[in-house]
Structure 1
Amino acid sequence: MLVYRIVIYLRSITSAAICSKDKVIWRIKMKPVYFSIVPMLFIIMLSIPSVSLAFRCGEEIVTRGESMAAVLYKCGEPEYITGKKKETKGTFASGTEYKRSTSYTTGGYQQEETTTEIWHYNCGENDFVYALTFEDGVFVKEETPTRGYGKSKCISVKERTR
């Protein structure tokens, strides 16, 4: 119903007429606005990420932001784990304060440690090997480095308990 109303509205704004007492004096034909609106809506729809692009373990969907425990529960043990490393990042900030014609420069250093782990799941010969990257126990990135091989090991909890 909403789409129908939008189409009717767009048709109504594509032409205009100047009338005088039951008589059309001048009719203006404007360019249809919907020729520019439809491609814009299509581009917006394509730019929105889809849940179907997320990593799946059987019927379970694993999305970014989930914890290691949640992924472990949904997908089981990974085939192998690589890249267990700690990374230290630091930032320095400084500023100047002015008090009674005297300037004081202050600064601070902030250090942050992150632990990175990469879990690999082999989803079989008709799929890929998925590399799930965790930073500080939170799923942040998914990659597909190679094609899968053998029988799929990407099965959900329900399928494992059957």
Structure 2
Amino acid sequence: MTSEKQTEANRRNAQRSTGPRTAKGKAASSRNSLTHGVLSANAVSIYEKREIYQELLDQLIDEHDAQTAHEIALVERLANLFWRERRLAEAEKHMLTRYFDQAHDDKSYGSTQRYIPLQDQFLIGRYQGMLGRQVRDTLRDLREEQDRRMKTIEQAVVVTRDAER
């Protein structure tokens, strides 16, 4: 348990530590926790090519025939999720490469670890499951929104037809 003296010292230190003050410092600190980027607030990191993401987004908008702002927002969410799945696969590949390299370098010590540790495998699986569910839910929401739009169009056609009679 923390003593009262330690708690007071922590409070004093916290008053002096206000974090980054410049725009450059704030931008740098915003990337401190970026390891795999699956939970990143930014869809495209500074290390990725925005043009490739934009191409994916444009293709998805065309493929899903997004017409309204709501439909486009759902397709953008879908693009973000697919992008994060891609990023997760890349992170897994890099982890595996790192473990293979370490096992190769440590062979003099008898290391035969040529796999991603179980804890990391569980975390990767958890993120894959989370992203998969979000993709499924977003596709469902998009279909429902497009069905609503089509029903509205059909109702407008019926009203127009009835008015012409």
TM-score range, shorter chain: under 0.3
Higher helix content, 1 or 2: 2
> If the length of structure 1 is used for normalisation, what is the TM-score?
0.24
**Higher Rg:** 1
Which structure exhibits the higher relative contact order, with contacts defined as CA atoms closer than 8 Å and separated by 6 or more residues?
2
- Structure 2 length normalisation: TM-score? 0.24
More strand by share: 1
